Every structure is written in structure tokens, then in C-alpha cells.
């Protein structure tokens, strides 16, 4: 076995090319850990607002939103399919370092009835910059490996485009501040496309939270617990780059899938915000054992040393005193779970499997199903689009996310998520590393809103 992909782009070459480009762009801008001293800058409430907030800024209405996609691999083509299913959009440009992947995306467009040729950019790692400079793009969506999220987002905004990235938006605090500053300066939105916020259960529970069903909220649970061992060791797709983080970082590598919905429940950045966190990791066993069981001894991957603990557990405290349990585990044999729980003075909800307990309803001290709450609290987006959504990816949440993006672009609405959400939800990644490295010491979480979190949503 080798680390070569079917397209001739090896994991080694991909990582080397990212590092080489970093010499000219700035390593922190490519998502690699920067000097720790830089990450302590502007960590709290002491930085006054310099520019108007992007919190309530509407998109410019577009009858037919023009969207460009950077990264047409598995995730990029998946989201392209959702956008084509929503309809009413024009995909004006496609970019990928592997030309065959762009051709697959073009074939999807033809099958969906799009009888025009999108502009194509396959000229190397930085060809996305030419895409971002086009004058027929309203929104750039990027589904690249993690290290390229910040460079693509920065290029899009500085060229006057709104941008949405796959998760996380960044994995240094310095880069997160750079995205916030650039979004405010350019007046362009920088969104993180967190699909889990749009799941059926997540939006149902959000409606119940807003209706006061759980009473006064005090605790949430969030996780990304997903057995990815076989994917991490693939010689294609995510296996070319995602395992690399396990050689360099010990913390929560992927916090946003579980944390995003819980942040919505708790009104984070709208009446409350993350204050500080502590984090600890178990030893690393899982990837080493998987390699022993599945990888031949002459494979170059035996030269790798993994440092990410199998299970990272964190606790987040909010300014209002609420707590959040946050977990990350992708290296163990276990069922999938994002935990997705919320607890208040009246009761609690926990997912995987979905169950609820509300004091005074049903049998005392016994879980019940959420079925009886669906008629009253099903979210309007799912009521309107649920039948179409369920044919889409990840149980329909991908379709709802794409539909909401297109709706907001077309009608000139304020987006559901903004750069402050993207950076706050991503911050536990680098901050968990710092806490783990210092014996689980508490670390402050930046206030990317610069104090504007105190205003609840209208």
C-alpha cells in the first residue's frame, strides 16, 4: 500500500504543497499552529468595536444567486447536489486541484438541466484566487481540506464576495480574528456551513427551547463521536490530509457539529457567550491499534506518530453561568453520537437515541419519546421543505441548509449564521489543545463580537 491517490496527488505531496505555500501566505493563514503568543492577543472583552458589526447585515437580494464552489471532492459535490436540488441558483465557477473532480461536478450540473458551462479553475493550489476575482459570483462555497478554509475565505471577502466554508472555519485564534476583522472591513459575510444546526431534531428542540418547554436553561451536551478509523487510513479523499492533524494536535479537532446546535439553544452571541473552558485527553491508542491490525509493516504510514488522545473531553462555562460538555472521539469502536442534549429547570432532552423528560409529563423519572412534541413544535423550515429535504444528505439537514442559504441570498435576508458564530464554535479546537498542554488549565474564549453578544436577537 502507498499514500498515493487514484489521481496522482499523494498525501505527502498535498501536505508539502500546503506548507510551501504557507511560506508566502503566512502559516497561520493556512491553519497551521502559529506562535502561541499570538493566540493570547484579544482574548476577552477588552477590545472595543472598531467597525460596525456584521450581526444584522442582510445579503444583497439576488433573483438568481450566483455561487462558485472551491473543492469539488466528495463534500463539494454533495453540496452541489443539494444546491441543484433546491434550484433557482446559477453555479458560475468550479475549482479543484484534480481536474477529474471538476468534470464530475460538471456532469452533475448537466444531469440537473444546467445547459451552460461553468468557468473551471484547475491550475494549482491557488487558482481559487482567480475564481474569487470574477465579477459573476455572489457567494463562494469552499469544501477544501481544513488548512485551506482560511485562505479561500480571505480571498473571497477581499474580492468582495460572501463566503461559506465547511467546518471548522479556522483552527488558530489568530486566524479567527483575521476572519472577523476582514468580514467587518469588507462588509462581506463569512459563514461556516454547519449542517448539523439544520437537523430535524435540532430544530425541533430549538423550537421547544424558544417556547420555554425546558424552563431556564443550565447545561448542554455536544460531541463529535464518530468512528473514522477506516476513513482516516484511506489512500484517497480525507485520508490524504485529515490524519495529519492527529500527528500534530492533541485536543478537540472537530468541535462544531455538536456545539453549533447547542450554541443555538443557549443563545450564544445573543444574550450569552462562551467564557472559558478546560480540557483533557485520554492516551492515544485507537489509530495505533488500527494501523497494527490493518496496515502492512512496510507501509510508510508506520513512520507516523499519533498524538491526539482518543477521547477529548472539555467543559465550557458561559458568562451567564451555564455549562457545556463537549467531546471528540474519532479513533474508537463506538456508535455515532453528537450527544445533542439540553437541560433546564423543567427537564431535559438527550439524543442518540432521542428521548425527553419533562417534569409532570408522563411517568415520573422515566424517559419518553419526542413524538408527542412533533406536531406542536416541528420547525417551520421542516414543515415547508421536509418532504424534499429527506431525499438529501445526512437525513435532510444538508438540503435544509442549502435551501436556507439560497433563500437568504435570493430574498436579501440576514444569514442564519455569521462570522462570530463560526469563530466562537471553532475556538474550542485550538483552546482545547492549549488546556490539555497545560494540565487542563482554564483558558479564556475570545469574545469575537467585541461585547455585542449582550444584545439578544430581536
Query: Looking at residue 33, what is its pLDDT?
Result: 40
CB 171 within 8 A of CB 32: no
Where in 139-256 does DSSP place strands (E)? 139-142, 162-165, 190-192, 217-225
Q: Torsion-angle region of residue 276: left (phi > 0), alpha (psi -120 to 50) or beta?
A: beta
What pLDDT, on a 0 to 100 scale, did the predictor assign at position 252?
A: 98
Q: What is the rounded CA–CA span in Å between residue 309 and residue 290?
A: 14
In the chain, where does the domain assigned CATH 3.40.50.720 lie?
A: 37-195
DSSP, collapsed to helix, strand or coil, labels residue 150 as helix
Q: How many CB atoms lie within 10 A of CB 169?
A: 32
Superfamily of domain 37-195: NAD(P)-binding Rossmann-like Domain (3.40.50.720)
Low pLDDT (below 70) residues in the chain: 1-49, 457-458
Residues of the chain with CATH 3.30.360.10: 197-392+412-454
For 259-305, write each residue's pLDDT tens digit.
999 999 999 999 999 999 999 999 999 999 999 999 999 999 999 99
Q: In what order do the strands lie in the sheet with 162-165?
A: 119-121, 90-95, 66-70, 139-142, 162-165, 190-192
Which of left, alpha, beta for 124 (phi over 0: left; psi -120 to 50: alpha)?
Answer: left
- 91/84 Cα distance (integer angstroms): 9
The 10 Å CB-count burial string (b at 16+, else e) for 64-90 is ebbbbbbbbbebbbbbbbbbbbbeebb
Q: Report how far residue 195's alpha carbon sits from residue 179's, in angstroms, rounded to the nearest whole number.
A: 20
What is the structure's pLDDT at 47? 62
Question: What pLDDT, on the 0 to 100 scale, is given for residue 50?
Answer: 75
pLDDT value for 380: 98
3-state secondary structure of 141: strand
According to CATH, what is the number of the domain 197-392+412-454? 3.30.360.10
Classified as helix, coil or strand, 277 is strand
Residue 48: per-residue pLDDT: 63
3-state secondary structure 190-217: EEECCHHHHCHHHHHHHHHHHCCCCCCE
pLDDT of residue 339: 98
- How large is the angle between the packed helices 200-210 and 256-266, nearest 10 degrees? 20
- Give the pLDDT confidence score for residue 28 in this predicted structure: 41
Query: How far is it, in rounded angstroms, from Cα 311 to Cα 332?
Result: 8
Question: What string of DSSP letters covers 66-85?
Answer: EEEEE--SHHHHHHHHHHHH
Q: Residue 456's pLDDT is what?
A: 74
What is residue 448's predicted lDDT score, i.e. its pLDDT?
A: 97
Considering only the C-alpha atoms of the chain, give the largest distance between any 2 of them, rounded to a whole number of Å. Answer: 64
- Cβ atoms 163, 139 nearer than 8 A: yes
Euclidean distance between CA atoms 54 and 47, whole angstroms: 16
Q: What is the pLDDT of residues 169-197, one digit of tens each?
A: 999 999 999 999 999 999 999 999 999 99
pLDDT for 171 = 94
Q: Rounded CA gap, 245 and 241, in Å?
A: 8
Amino acid at each position: 500500500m502507498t499514500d498515493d491517490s487514484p489521481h496522482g496527488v499523494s498525501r505527502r505531496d498535498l501536505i508539502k504543497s500546503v506548507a510551501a505555500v504557507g511560506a508566502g501566505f503566512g502559516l497561520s493563514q493556512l491553519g497551521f499552529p502559529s506562535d502561541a503568543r499570538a493566540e493570547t492577543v484579544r482574548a476577552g472583552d477588552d477590545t472595543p468595536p472598531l467597525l460596525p458589526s456584521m450581526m444584522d447585515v442582510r445579503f444583497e437580494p439576488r433573483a438568481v444567486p450566483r455561487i462558485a464552489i472551491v473543492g469539488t471532492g466528495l463534500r463539494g459535490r454533495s453540496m452541489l447536489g443539494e444546491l441543484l436540488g433546491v434550484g433557482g441558483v446559477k453555479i458560475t465557477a468550479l475549482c479543484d486541484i484534480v481536474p477529474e473532480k471538476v468534470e464530475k461536478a460538471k456532469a452533475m450540473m448537466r444531469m440537473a438541466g444546467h445547459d451552460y458551462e461553468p468557468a473551471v479553475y484547475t491550475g494549482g493550489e491557488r487558482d481559487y484566487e482567480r475564481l474569487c476575482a470574477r465579477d459573476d459570483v455572489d457567494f463562494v462555497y469552499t469544501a477544501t481540506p481544513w488548512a485551506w478554509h482560511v485562505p479561500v475565505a480571505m480571498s473571497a471577502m477581499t474580492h468582495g464576495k460572501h463566503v461559506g466554508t465547511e467546518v471548522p472555519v479556522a483552527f488558530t485564534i489568530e486566524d479567527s480574528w483575521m476572519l472577523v476583522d476582514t468580514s467587518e472591513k469588507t462588509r462581506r459575510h463569512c459563514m461556516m456551513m454547519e449542517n448539523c444546526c439544520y437537523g430535524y431534531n435540532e430544530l425541533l428542540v430549538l423550537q421547544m427551547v424558544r417556547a420555554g418547554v425546558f424552563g431556564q436553561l443550565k447545561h448542554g451536551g455536544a460531541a463529535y463521536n464518530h468512528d473514522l478509523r477506516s476513513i482516516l487510513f484511506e489512500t484517497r479523499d480525507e485520508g490524504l490530509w485529515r490524519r495529519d492533524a492527529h500527528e500534530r494536535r492533541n485536543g478537540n479537532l472537530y468541535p462544531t457539529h455538536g456545539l453549533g446546535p447547542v450554541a443555538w439553544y443557549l443563545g450564544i452571541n445573543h444574550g450569552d457567550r462562551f467564557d472559558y473552558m478546560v480540557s483533557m485527553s485520554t492516551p492515544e491508542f485507537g489509530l495505533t491499534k488500527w494501523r497494527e491490525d490493518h496496515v502492512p509493516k512496510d507501509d510508510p504510514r508506520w513512520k507516523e506518530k499519533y498524538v491526539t488522545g482518543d477521547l477529548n473531553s472539555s467543559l465550557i462555562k458561559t458568562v451567564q453561568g451555564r455549562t457545556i460538555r463537549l467531546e471528540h472521539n474519532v479513533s474508537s469502536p463506538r456508535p455515532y453520537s453528537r450527544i445533542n442534549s439540553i437541560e433546564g429547570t423543567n427537564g431535559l432532552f438527550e439524543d442518540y437515541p432521542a428521548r425527553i423528560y419533562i417534569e409532570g409529563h408522563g411517568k415520573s423519572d422515566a424517559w419518553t419519546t419526542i413524538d408527542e412534541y412533533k406536531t406542536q413544535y416541528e420547525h417551520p423550515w421542516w414543515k415547508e421543505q421536509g418532504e424534499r429535504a429527506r431525499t438529501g444528505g445526512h437525513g435532510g439537514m444538508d438540503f435544509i441548509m442549502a435551501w436556507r442559504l439560497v433563500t437568504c441570498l435570493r430574498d436579501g435576508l440576514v444569514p442564519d449564521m455569521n462570522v462570530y458564530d463560526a469563530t466562537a464554535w471553532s475556538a474550542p479546537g485550538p483552546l482545547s489543545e492549549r488546556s490539555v498542554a497545560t494540565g487542563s488549565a482554564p483558558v479564556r474564549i475570545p469574545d469575537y463580537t467585541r461585547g455585542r453578544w449582550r444584545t439578544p436577537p430581536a
